C-alpha cells in the first residue's frame, strides 16, 4: 500500500508509525469496524472514539458502551485510546488502569467543543487552564509506561488562541505528539482550518505534530504537508464513506462496483460487531456517506436511512449497484460533495 512504508515515518516516543495518514477520532464513527477498514487502506494510527473517564468505574472498569469503544482489532497499530475528563485525579488513575488493555499510546482530548464537556473544563475547556494541562501531563507521563499524546484546538476563541503556549507546555511536560485541529473551540466547524497555525506549532516543538482540519482530497494532503511541514495528516469527515483516501485515492477514482463491495464488507463487519439490529441501524449513517454520485443517489440515501430491515437494505444496495453499473461513466464523473 502506498502510504505504508517499511521504515517508520515518525515515532511517538518509541512507538513507530508506518505512514503519514491517520483516521481522526470521531465519536459515533471511528469504531472498531471502521478503524480496521481504514487501517487496511493505510491509516497509520488507530484512535478510539473519545472515552469519558466518567464512563469508567473508580476501579477503571468500563460500562458496556465504553467497553465496546475500547476494543481493538489485530490489524490496528499503534492502538491509541483517547480519553477526556475534567478531574485530574480521575484522568490519571483511569489512564493508568486503561494500560491493562494494552494500548500503545494514550491520548488526551483537549479539543472537544461540545458545550457540556468544554464548559466543565474537559476537552477544549482545558485550553483555558494551561496550568492544569501542565499538571495533568506531568502526572500522566510519570504514571504511565506508554507514551501520552494530546489532540488540541487552537484555543478557546479568537482572542485566546494560546496554541503555542499549550504546545510548549505539552512538550515540556512529556507529551510525545500533538495532533492539531486548526480551529478554536468557539469556531466549532465554521470558517476554515488555519493551517498556518499548524506550521507555527511544528516550528515551535520537536515532538511530532499531526495536522488536522478540512483535508478533503488527496490534493489537500499534499497541500497541508507542504504548508505546515507536519509529520502526519489526520482525516476525519472526509474519510467517512471514503476509506480510499488513506490509500491516496479520491472516491471518484474508485469504480462503482468496488465502492458497493466495500460498503457491503463494512456492513458485514458492523453486523458482526454490534449484532444484527444495532449493527444495521448504526451503519446507516455510514451508508449515507458511501452513496454519493450517480442517478437516484439522493432517493436511495433517504430510503437507506429509513430502512431497518437487513434484507430490504441489501435489496436497495443491489438496485444501486445495478444503477451504477448501468450508468458507470456518469457516476465516475459526478462531483463528490462533502456534507
Ligand atoms: C462526528 C464527529 C465526532 C468527533 N469525535 C471526536 C472525538 O471523539 N475525539 C476527538 O478528538 N475529535 C473528535 N472529532 C473531531 C475530529 O477528530 C477532527 O478533529 C475534526 O472533524 C476536523 O477534522 P476533519 O476536517 O478532517 O473532519 C469529531 C468530529 C466529528 C465530525
Give me the tens of pLDDT residue by residue for the chain, a chain 339 residues long: 445 557 999 999 999 999 999 999 999 999 999 999 999 999 999 999 999 998 887 666 888 889 999 999 998 999 999 999 999 999 999 999 999 999 999 999 999 999 999 999 999 999 999 999 999 999 999 999 999 999 999 999 999 999 999 999 999 999 999 999 999 999 999 999 999 999 999 999 999 999 999 999 999 999 999 999 999 999 999 999 999 999 999 999 998 889 989 999 999 999 999 999 999 999 999 999 998 877 778 899 999 999 999 999 999 998 888 877 766 554 444 433 333
Give the Cα separation of 241 and 29 in Å (integer).
10
- For residue 1, the model assigns a pLDDT of 47
Q: Closest Cα to atom 26, ligand 1: which residue? A: 236
Q: Quick check: CB of 238 below 6 Å from ligand 1?
A: yes
Q: Which residues touch 75 (CB under 8 Å, ≥6 apart)?
A: 36, 39, 40
Q: Quick check: CB of 52 below 6 Å from ligand 1?
A: no
Q: Exactly one of 38, 112, 230, 307 is catalytic; which is it?
A: 112
- For residue 124, the model assigns a pLDDT of 98
- For residue 327, the model assigns a pLDDT of 63
Q: Quick check: CB of 49 below 6 Å from ligand 1?
A: yes
Where do the H-state alpha helices sit in 99-174?
115-118, 130-143, 163-172
Compute the distance from residue 316 Cα to the ligand 1 centre, in Å: 30
- For residue 257, the model assigns a pLDDT of 83
- For residue 271, the model assigns a pLDDT of 97
Q: Quick check: CB of 24 below 6 Å from ligand 1?
A: yes
Give Cα separations from 5 to 78, 167, 172 (angstroms).
Answer: 15, 28, 30
Query: What is the number of other CB atoms lying within 10 angstroms of the CB of residue 273?
Result: 18
- For residue 328, the model assigns a pLDDT of 57
Residue 7: DSSP 8-state: S
| 38 part of the active site | no
Q: Quick check: CB of 338 below 6 Å from ligand 1?
A: no
- For residue 295, the model assigns a pLDDT of 73
C-alpha cell at 246: 488513506
- DSSP secondary structure letters along 298-330: HHHHHHHHH---HHHHHHHHHHHHHHHHHTHHH
Compute the distance from residue 108 Cα to the ligand 1 centre, in Å: 14
C-alpha cell at 170: 505539552
Residue 273: DSSP 8-state: H
Query: Torsion angle of alpha carbons 92, 93, 94, 99, nearest 10°?
Result: 90
Amino acid at each position: 500500500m502506498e502510504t505504508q512504508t517499511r521504515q517508520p515515518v515518525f515515532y511517538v516516543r518509541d512507538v513507530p508509525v508506518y505512514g503519514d495518514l491517520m483516521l481522526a477520532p470521531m465519536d459515533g464513527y471511528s469504531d472498531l469496524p471502521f478503524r480496521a477498514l481504514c487501517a487496511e487502506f493505510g491509516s497509520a494510527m488507530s484512535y478510539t472514539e473519545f472515552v469519558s473517564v466518567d464512563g469508567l468505574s473508580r476501579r477503571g472498569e468500563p460500562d458496556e458502551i465504553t467497553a465496546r469503544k475500547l476494543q481493538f482489532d489485530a490489524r490496528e497499530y499503534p492502538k491509541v485510546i483517547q480519553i477526556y475528563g475534567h478531574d485530574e485525579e480521575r484522568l490519571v488513575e483511569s489512564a493508568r488502569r486503561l494500560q491493562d488493555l494494552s494500548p500503545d499510546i494514550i491520548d488526551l482530548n483537549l479539543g472537544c467543543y461540545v458545550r457540556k464537556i468544554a464548559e466543565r473544563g474537559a476537552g477544549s475547556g482545558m485550553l483555558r487552564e494551561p496550568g492544569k494541562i501542565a499538571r495533568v501531563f506531568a502526572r500522566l507521563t510519570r504514571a504511565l509506561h506508554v507514551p501520552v499524546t494530546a489532540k488540541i484546538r487552537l484555543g478557546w476563541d479568537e482572542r485566546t488562541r494560546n496554541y503555542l503556549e499549550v504546545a510548549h507546555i505539552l512538550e515540556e511536560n512529556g507529551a510525545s505528539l500533538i495532533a492539531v485541529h486548526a480551529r478554536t473551540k468557539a469556531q466549532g466547524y465554521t470558517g476554515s482550518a488555519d493551517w498556518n497555525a499548524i506550521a507555527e506549532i511544528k516550528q515551535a516543538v520537536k515532538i511530532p505534530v499531526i495536522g488536522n482540519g478540512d483535508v478533503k482530497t488527496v490534493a489537500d494532503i499534499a497541500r497541508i504537508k507542504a504548508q505546515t511541514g507536519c509529520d502526519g495528516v489526520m482525516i476525519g469527515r472526509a474519510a467517512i464513506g471514503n476509506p480510499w483516501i488513506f490509500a491516496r485515492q479520491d472516491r471518484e477514482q474508485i469504480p462503482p462496483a468496488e465502492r458497493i463491495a466495500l460498503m457491503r464488507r463494512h456492513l458485514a463487519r458492523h453486523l458482526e460487531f454490534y449484532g444484527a439490529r444495532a449493527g444495521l441501524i448504526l451503519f446507516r449513517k455510514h451508508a449515507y456517506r458511501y452513496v454519493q454520485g450517480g442517478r437516484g443517489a439522493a432517493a436511495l440515501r433517504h430510503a437507506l436511512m429509513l430502512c431497518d430491515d437487513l434484507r430490504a437494505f441489501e435489496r436497495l444496495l443491489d438496485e444501486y449497484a445495478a444503477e451504477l453499473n448501468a450508468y458507470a461513466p456518469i457516476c465516475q464523473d459526478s462531483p463528490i460533495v462533502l456534507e
